[in-house]
Structure 1
């Protein structure tokens, strides 16, 4: 009986761990890659959505876009 309880507990634990690993949340690497693609497209509105709620309280979407547009202009070579 104890052996059955132990096996059942192990199977339950393995199931929980397996399901936890099947999260729909993207990995940090995937999020960074997506953010970089948006930056290359200059889609600053979508980039703003990646910010945490705390950061969004600190900077408006408009100011965020202006800063990134300014940085893009500064990085472009001049003739």
Structure 2
């Protein structure tokens, strides 16, 4: 069973959290809907002044943008952002 720090306590269970030195920091910016181009899944870099920072998360470098978007949209983190808007 994983301990408080997410590492295995020596049992047969697999580690649920990779070592921190395997992760990279990723900055999350929230883009207002009026600047998001849905059909292109894109926002121009010119609107950076209209975005706001939601903070940083630590992810595996090989994690795809599609998976990150899915995980963020289906997390409690998204509820916090929506409440702050």
Larger RCO (CA within 8 A; separation ≥ 6): 2
Q: Name the larger-Rg structure.
A: 1
Question: Is the helix fraction higher in 1 or 2?
Answer: 1
Using structure 2 for the length normalisation, give the TM-score: 0.24
Question: Which structure carries more strand by proportion?
Answer: 2
TM-score of the aligned structures, taking structure 1 as reference length: 0.25
